[in-house]
A and B are shown apart, each in its own frame.
Chain A
């Protein structure tokens, strides 16, 4: 009896702490890597038939939507100097606006015209939303839109900015929000307390512009946040910032790694697969393929296959274990966003010209099975949740549903 009660209490606590599996909580979803095996259903196609709703947005942004329960969140920036920062909350069901919060940027809002101050994707722990902007404003709101905390990181660290614009997306790992504010000058990564926003740790990083986002890799059964940068990968214990491992040899500062279990697939010298291993063991390079070079889009790992898209718009499938090429097919780019997938052997990707494509991965070669032209610039990555796909364009947030 005691044990059954304990089990019940444990289950309740667990359920309270762990967000529902339908949630898509950050850039590229689970492990920050684009693949959600729990997303058993995904839209059968991208078409007018599966378009559930389309909602206008008050400003541009490159950050993806995230989904928590019955709400979808997205950020935007507007105004002549992009100084108006928006956090928007809509109903998953019908796209009805639930709340919006606006803030004035406190840091520099300059960016390349292609990007935008709302480039990072917000993150969530299932209870709160953490919205980071290129102006280094970091805002925490609860799911009802109540302001929990704010940081103006440029006021704290005046040279932490990138005149082209920052884009790295934060992620919640355990009880810490981790963000990379990496640039040519005052470059750092930090872990923030989820409830107060104060620094739990702050770490100097290479003085080099870096647009990659952190991923989560498992080591000894524990979630480790992997920071990618020009010098390679640095694995940190998220709660303390303590170093857990390093992968030297450099890495790209544009496409991010994909994590799968205890392995990382790093855009480094082409693509490099690394097994992180257990404590006190140096990460082991499994393979490197110099000719398999991800473009701006980050790679994706699904089961025994790795998928990458190069700057010529070629989607390549390679074997996870060996790096050997399995097939290649051309898809319609160019791409700034990254591909995502659920459990249904379907890869979803949106190109800069507004074309969404679904690639069937179940056969011997990849096959485009659905395509839609949305008629707007899209520089973002889709989110998958509850059998639906969410994508933000320059002007709208779109939901596609209707599972196979």
Chain B
């Protein structure tokens, strides 16, 4: 049953939450949607529930937003489309909308981050001016999608100040923006201005939480890409003083490695020279001040596997299709004290110049992308000027990147 607009408006006027009046009407539908599972389980029932939810008026918006707190990603999408369907319909009909409750939902930082962003967008449609006023206060918001707008404002403001010649205020504004930024594109944009226009020295690896100090061992074999599934000694024991037999009978031992790359790239080609059809391992330890939830975020264009505290987290046998920061996010539970991380990176047989990379980048952060720093984090290594390459090694001017396809 759809609540009449006057009754609903009266409820709002009286400061009552309309939800309890009709809770029983939609609670069953919400429960049904929460049950959607893998491989399409529960879809048919969820479709009926979705129809039931969207048959209600605006009174259903808040309860559905609140239900997102316990929903998985699929159920959350069912709920999102239900909320938006009802909202758009009621907005078009000029029906009463619970604007104040939606705003309160946005401002309550305990609510689910994506649901809050959705609520913010809805609020912006009924009170665009007031929604705009909320943005500056979101500069330290735990919801990355909300914080993004606030960082964007500071970035624009800093750029304007810079163009006006006010370097002092610009520096302060852009520094605030960098401290708050969690999205890669925004961090890059702010860092570029701070470095190039304001000559600031930045420690981006620390800002991101990249792990810069490792022990490496290579090359083990990866002929015919078989190394990905082959269990080499580092997968069964970590003994940094041991030596092992590697590819072609070569004696291998662990060696220390530190990267100074802004984005934490660990390059196997540097200590081992460019190689093909090989497997390498990298090991490090992470001292955590507390036991807590965290994410290991990886970028890698080689086949890879990761073990965390001895347990295989994930592996992927894709080669040279692209790499970026935070390409893969792997939830982990940090122990208080020492945690171990082992990375396996396989290089394949391809010879094109865009397949030379044998590297990865790895950081530890929370679910919002905020860096978690080890209690014994060493200073970021100073950058060293890259050695001059002889002309014969220079990349040809017509070198092409990995081809983008899509025929559509």
Contact = CB atoms under 8 A, between A and B. Distances in A.
Interface of A: 27, 62-64, 80-81, 99-104, 106, 108, 110-115, 119-121, 137, 145-152, 155-156, 158-159, 162-165, 167, 169, 183-185, 192-193, 195-199, 207, 209, 211-213, 253-256, 296-298, 336-338, 379-381
B316 interface: yes
B318 A167 contact: no
Most A CB contacts (10 A, CB to CB) among B36, B74, B77 go to: B77
> Which one of B38, B39, B51 has the greatest number of beta carbons of chain A within 10 Å?
B39
A186 B51 CA distance: 35
Contact of A150 (B74, B185, B319): B74
A388 B402 CA distance: 37
B6 interface: no
A154 to B, nearest CB: 10
A270 to B, nearest CB: 17
B323 interface: yes
A196 to B, nearest CB: 5
18 contacts: A62-B408, A106-B74, A112-B404, A114-B406, A137-B77, A149-B40, A149-B44, A152-B73, A163-B327, A195-B44, A196-B44, A198-B41, A198-B43, A199-B40, A207-B317, A296-B405, A337-B407, A338-B408
B314 A158 contact: yes
Nearest to A255: B407
Given A148-B47, A163-B321, A169-B408, 14 more contacts: A106-B74, A110-B327, A119-B408, A147-B50, A149-B47, A150-B46, A162-B318, A163-B318, A164-B405, A167-B407, A193-B40, A207-B317, A211-B407, A338-B408
Contacts of A80: 148, 183, 185
Interface in B77-111: 77-78, 80-82, 84-85, 88
A209 B407 contact: no
Interface in B213-258: none
A147 B78 CA distance: 8
Contact of B51 (A146, A155, A163): A146
Interface of B: 36, 38-41, 43-44, 46-47, 50-51, 54, 73-74, 76-78, 80-82, 84-85, 88, 114, 148, 183, 185, 301, 314, 316-319, 321-324, 327-328, 402, 404-408
B321 A209 contact: yes
A184 B43 contact: no
A336 B408 contact: yes
A63 B408 CA distance: 6
Contacts of A113: 404
A44 B176 CA distance: 58
A146 B408 contact: no
A110 B322 contact: yes
A101 B322 contact: no
Q: Which of B38, B41, B322 has the most CB of A within 10 A?
A: B322
Given A106-B73, A110-B324, A198-B39, A146 B54 contact: yes
Given A102-B84, A150-B43, A115 B404 contact: yes
B404 A164 contact: yes
Nearest to A380: B408
Contacts of A199: 39-40
Contacts of B77: 103-104, 106, 137, 150, 152
B163 to A, nearest CB: 24
Nearest to A79: B145
Given A163-B322, A185-B318, A152 B408 contact: no
A198 B44 CA distance: 10
B78 A150 contact: yes
Contacts of B314: 158
B116 to A, nearest CB: 13
Contacts of A379: 406, 408
B114 A167 contact: no
A308 B406 CA distance: 17
Nearest to B73: A106
A119 B183 CA distance: 24
A211 B405 contact: yes
Contacts of A63: 408
B81 A114 contact: no
Contacts of B84: 101-102
Contact of B405 (A100, A115, A338): A115
B303 to A, nearest CB: 9
A255 B408 CA distance: 9
Given A102-B80, A159-B316, A197-B40, A167 B406 contact: yes
A27 B408 CA distance: 7
Contacts of A102: 80-81, 84
Leading 4 A-B pairs by shortest Cβ distance: A167-B406, A114-B404, A163-B321, A198-B40
A11 to B, nearest CB: 30
